[in-house]
Structure 1
Amino acid sequence: MPESIHPSTIPPDGAAAIASNGAPAIAPAALPDSRENLLYVDERAPLTAREAMRLLLKSWPFVARHRRLVAIKCALTFFSLTFFLMTPWPLKIVIDNVIDGHPLTGIPAAILTPIVGNDRALMLAAVALFLLAALVLIGMVGDNSGGLNTDVNSGGLDQASMTANDANTGDSLWNGLFGYLEARVTIDLTQRMNQSLRTAIYERFIRSPLALYADQKIGDAVFRVMYDTAAIGPAFYAGVLSPLASILMFAMALLVLSAQFSNQPVIVVIAILFLPVVALGAGVWGRILRSQSQAMRESGSNVMAAFEERIAQVQLIKVFGQEARETAAVDRASWASYRSTFRMIAILFALFIALMPLVGGLLAYVIYYFFMQVIAGRMTLGDVVLLLSYGMMLINPMAVLGSTWAILQLQVAGLRRVHTVLDRLGEPAAIGDAGELERRIDLLEFRGVAIGYGATTVLTDVSMSLRAGQMAALAGPSGCGKTTLIYSIPRFLEPQGGAILFDGRDSRAIAPDVLRRRVAFVFQSEALFSRSIADNIRYGNPEASDAEIREAAAMAGCAEFIEQLPERYATILGRRGARLSVGQKQRIAIARALLMRPEIMVLDEPTAPLDSSSESNLIETLRALSRDRIVLIVAHRPGTLAMCDRVFFVHDGTVAASGTHLELERANAAYRAYIARTASEIHL
């Protein structure tokens, strides 16, 4: 026997060793024993500032791939800032120049004097025309724009409800035509960023090793795909666009103030003081916000998992009369999610209370100072209105910059749960070459294979070979590892030691997608989609014609009952094929496998739901198929085993013996005992 390939043969630098058969000895990626190790153990550690920054940088590619929309959104946002600079001026002109009769000075004089001179009626008309145009274009009246957004009342305070707006954000600083244009661009960008991340994480779950789903809560996976991915939009808007716009706004407002009120520096000083005040609060509370945001998302995930599991098991719940108990369990999970949100609100309120004395003190001083200037005759009332408006234009950017880090903490927890999946899940690619297969598979060999789940080894030293033209069977007691063994053929599981060879090539040197196009599976518990029968049969070969579908159905023995249905192949099946019997679902699953025209067919207990006549017909069909392909059946029934060319007996953690059914009955006592026990169970 050739030397076994084992992960210990991999050199320290990661290069693949070469086994005696010329195939690369590739160490499989270790699969942890449980979901705690696979996804969640890293998430239990506190989120540090360094980790938060790393997550934000890792998320940038999902934004950058939509650079055209990003550029348009940035341009619209920055352009809209120029309108903010104009919003305080109409009120100042009306107060000082129209009502009080002061002559125009500074910037307004440079713009309006050539047009209206000192005529107050014309000044008022010019202001009115400006406000009318602004109302149509940007919905602006006075110094306060009516910002446009697509937020809706989501109906709850749990994480899932609150995330609905994050996933569909479309907003603008303005209303009117300009605002609707920007909102449309924003919602398009939000959807595209979210869709990119959502598709990426969904693909990772779909391509994950089957071992993951032995422990992974489906509801948690759905929550990560649907809700955690929505963090990408707010992270970009709050973490990149808003700070950049704030810096630009501060610079523009400062420039205007310097031109109009060069002798009043106090407003600039007060505005700059807002940055350290707000930043101090954000820095102190940042870790608390990150931790609570993580707790909110975990509790929201638990609610989704609780709903999913109980709906999936509704039949069992009804049979045992546990509706009240399970409703109470979901209710507890839902209230836990709400409590997490309430705690977050309390934290934000505490932060607000802590900062208000400092912020309020600064604002009070500004107002007091300006009105003292009016009383002293050094400023007009219109100047106060203008300065206070521009003061807010300076203060708001400082507040935004100071709070950016705190706001990002609410999204970082979601990005962490997304990147955990992107970093940790996914199947290994082929190593050593392009991973293609140039010709049909005629020989499948197991050489000293050890196989299992993570650190748990189920089978060791498995050696057997299967050839095209041969129908083989795997037999053995329940739980002995037969399903584990067949899952290793299409790389659902990776060998822990030894090698699985296809015409002499190590399976780990063949891309999983390439390999699975050559291997068809019929699972023991077969599930169907809630689509038409034709769609279910065509699933593995979408281009198959109707004639090919009917041919596969006839070969699988399901054409007769399909033709008796009112809509025949167009019949829509219920959830998981609930409208069909177990035997009918199995036949459709076999037809689906046959339509792939595979080179290897693996069937896990295909005859279990069939009567003896149907079993014989199916075995004859499989025997005909095995003339030019490899057919491997997992079986218990002695009649099925007797009709196979070779039987591999799985016992005591390995393939203990092989031969025909009669040969094993004569020569192997453990096999005789197994057959006797199986026969008695079948006839009970």
Structure 2
Amino acid sequence: MTNSTTASTPSAAAPTATRELKKGSLATLRQLTPFLAPYTRRFIVAGIALLVAAGATLAIPAAFKQMIDMGFGGSGTRSIQHVDLVFLALFGLATVLALATAARFYSVSWLGERVTADIRAAVYNHVVTQSPEFFETTQTGEVLSRITTDTTLIQSVVGTSISMALRNALLFIGGLVMLFVTSPKLSAIIVGLLILTVLPIVIFGRRVRTLSRDSQDRVADASAMAGEILNAMPTVQAFTHEKIESSRFGGSVEGAFQTAMRRIKARAFLTMLAIVLVFGAIVFVLWLGAHAVLSGEMTGGDLGQFILYASITAGAIGALSEVMGEAQRAAGATERLLELMSVKSKIQSPAQPLPLPPRAANGAALSLNDVMFSYPSRPETNSLDHVTLDIKPGETVAVVGPSGAGKTTLFQLFLRFYDPQSGSIKLDGVDIRQLELHTLRDAIGIVPQDTVIFSANAMENIRYGRADASDEEVIAVARLAAAHEFIERLPQGYHSFLGERGVRLSGGQRQRIAIARALLKNPPLLLLDEATSALDAESERLVQSALEAAMVGRTTVIIAHRLATVQRADRIIVMEDGKIVETGTHASLVALGGIYANLAALQFHHVHVEH
């Protein structure tokens, strides 16, 4: 996979490599529409509540005008009755405003939580379908930051900011209209001044948007670093790098802090600028209004109404500037999430997949024909170089060779984590690129060199091999893998929590859990990558016996550095520099006097010296 292929299709490196090149814009938020569309009814309810609340708010200044002009302007019983009616009307408006505001808050908060949950699920569902190329070039902490921090920003926009923006936009428009109704002359002056004040606010807002994007990126970098170090704590402590790593993380956090402070300072200045300019304009116009009352050009009620509408309009502008800042941050977050969602795995199931033939009694046939492959991160190096290999059903084939020879790469290609640049791989005569990915991988069981144990109990860890397996089936395969006895000795037996990454188990115990998991899957093709490497002599004997029984009725490919584990294989493949250089049985390869013979001589001589 050369670099040229990334031009037309976003590659797995896209989230990290391109994030600095793009600037967030509010238009990006439109791309959230697919997540918002299913909840149209909720938006309608929130919209109605919003309109009612805005209408009630805009009616309050008119009630005050009536109270000032008709209540305080007269005397006697009629004036008192009028004041009473006005205050009753005000209380009624306040009640309507309270109910409508509560309905709006509930509706938009529900939408924020619901849409955020949907986005998180969609991003996670997308990420787990990516090929290993994606995780080869993208840090896990970066992805987690986007799923958590970025979606939280979107939640604040959907659940609060959109509602606040619409509310204040309505108040601004309604307040502006009522200002012109009250005094066209003063309103024209105030609008002219506001236009002059908005321009610098908009220009400076662009700076805030850029800094918001940078701030999110720095937080993601710190999260990625923390995730990497926390997953390697034994190594960090073994090399006494605690202070070094703390210093590195502290530097990353400090960098994120400094970037955040630049954003905060810019937003603080933007807020200050908006308030000073807007309220300065309003105070000037109100000064003109006071003179108009004194000269008899307008009534005290008119001025009171004008002041209230001016306050509502100014407050709406201030709130909108605040919301714009939040929306710009969310636009950057949305952009980052959309980058992640736009990455398409190069490994896809075909549009019209072929079925596998019925499973044979003795396992699956596997063949490679002139396979060439290099990893995307190092395209100049061939990890496999013109490899051709035929494995018969029921055959046990061992693959040996020095580190970097291409042994594990074979397994990666068998599982179709990557596709070769040329050549083909067939399972039971069907090109694996023509198979649905789940069909292919369901036919393969693997025991990896680095055993993965999940944060669950022993029963569920083994059941990962087949989700619908019964407890009895789990226990049966645990017995086969020589895992039953040590699991039974755990405090709660099969229901004992094994700790994150299996920290409560020894290496050998983790290996046997993985073997049991593969046996539960019961695949026609079994891949063993150093399956006994972490076992002591007694456990190795038990597991080796279990594996030999498990190999019956299936094809097995074994990777091993310890040649004692592969001597009884039907065939041994020796690899070096991505090529198959020798093939034969243990005896024939030793007699050949080549690479395998040298490896065997070194290992068996070492064992003899130890004894």
TM-score, reference length from structure 2 = 0.89
Deviation by residue 1:130-154 (Cα, 9 ceiling, x = unmatched): 344455554xxxxxxxxxxxxxxxx
Note the C-alpha offset of 1:631. 1.6
Q: In the alignment, does 2:85 pair up with 1:126?
A: yes
Q: 2:271–2:322: 8 Å Cα contact kept in structure 1? A: no
Q: In the alignment, does 2:253 pair up with 1:331?
A: no
Aligned residues: 600
Note the C-alpha offset of 1:665. 2.3
Q: 1:277–1:358: 8 Å Cα contact kept in structure 2? A: yes
Residue 366 of structure 2 aligns with an amino acid whose one-letter code is L
2:146 match: 224
Structure 1 residues 321 and 406, CA gap change in structure 2 (3 angstroms): closer
2:122 match: 200
2:334 match: 415
Residue 557 of structure 2 aligns with an amino acid whose one-letter code is L
SS in 2 for 1:500: strand
From 560, 565, 569, the equivalent of 1:640 is 565
1:281 match: 200
Matched residues in 2 for 1:54 and 1:386: separation? 37
1:371-386 mapped onto 2 (5 Å cutoff): 371-386=290-305
SS in 1 for 2:553: coil
Structure 1 residues 323 and 402, CA gap change in structure 2 (3 angstroms): closer
Structure 1 residues 234 and 609, CA gap change in structure 2 (3 angstroms): closer
2:287 match: 368
Q: In the alignment, does 2:224 pair up with 1:305?
A: yes
From 178, 186, 202, the equivalent of 2:108 is 186
SS in 2 for 1:541: coil
Matched residues in 1 for 2:503 and 2:528: separation? 21
Residue 112 of structure 2 aligns with an amino acid whose one-letter code is T
Q: 1:468–1:629: 8 Å Cα contact kept in structure 2? A: yes
Matched residues in 1 for 2:14 and 2:260: separation? 27
Note the C-alpha offset of 1:251. 4.7
1:342 match: 261
TM-score, reference length from structure 1 = 0.80
Structure 1 residues 293 and 439, CA gap change in structure 2 (3 angstroms): farther
1:157-556 mapped onto 2 (5 Å cutoff): 176-236=98-158, 244-246=166-168, 248-253=170-175, 256=178, 261=182, 264-267=184-187, 270-271=190-191, 274-275=194-195, 277-278=197-198, 280-352=199-271, 354-355=273-274, 358-395=277-314, 408-426=327-345, 428-434=347-353, 437=356, 439-440=358-359, 442-454=364-376, 455=379, 456-556=381-481
SS in 2 for 1:119: helix
Q: In the alignment, does 2:589 pair up with 1:669?
A: no
SS in 2 for 1:521: strand
Matched residues in 2 for 1:620 and 1:183: separation? 65
Note the C-alpha offset of 1:407. 5.1
Q: In the alignment, does 2:35 pair up with 1:74?
A: no
Matched residues in 2 for 1:95 and 1:221: separation? 60
Q: 1:281–1:351: 8 Å Cα contact kept in structure 2? A: no
Structure 1 residues 630 and 31, CA gap change in structure 2 (3 angstroms): farther
Q: In the alignment, does 2:20 pair up with 1:44?
A: yes
Matched residues in 2 for 1:320 and 1:457: separation? 33
Matched residues in 1 for 2:26 and 2:426: separation? 45
Q: 2:10–2:344: 8 Å Cα contact kept in structure 1? A: no
Q: 2:67–2:83: 8 Å Cα contact kept in structure 1? A: yes
Matched residues in 1 for 2:248 and 2:483: separation? 42
Matched residues in 1 for 2:607 and 2:417: separation? 31
Structure 1 residues 284 and 588, CA gap change in structure 2 (3 angstroms): same
Residue 343 of structure 2 aligns with an amino acid whose one-letter code is R
What's the RMSD between the two structures over aligned residues?
A: 3.2
SS in 2 for 1:88: helix
Once the two structures are aligned, what percentage of the paired residues are identical?
Answer: 27
Q: 2:560–2:566: 8 Å Cα contact kept in structure 1? A: yes
Greater percentage in helix: 2
SS in 2 for 1:66: helix
Matched residues in 2 for 1:426 and 1:200: separation? 15
Note the C-alpha offset of 1:189. 0.8
Structure 1 residues 390 and 637, CA gap change in structure 2 (3 angstroms): same
The answer to which of 418-427 and 390-399 deviates more is 390-399
Matched residues in 2 for 1:662 and 1:54: separation? 70
Note the C-alpha offset of 1:544. 1.0
Matched residues in 2 for 1:208 and 1:352: separation? 42
SS in 1 for 2:19: helix
Matched residues in 1 for 2:351 and 2:475: separation? 41
Structure 1 residues 626 and 326, CA gap change in structure 2 (3 angstroms): closer
1:157 match: none
1:569 match: 494
The answer to which of 554-563 and 124-133 deviates more is 124-133
Matched residues in 2 for 1:561 and 1:353: separation? 67
Matched residues in 2 for 1:346 and 1:40: separation? 27
Matched residues in 2 for 1:649 and 1:574: separation? 38
Matched residues in 1 for 2:186 and 2:304: separation? 15
SS in 1 for 2:414: coil
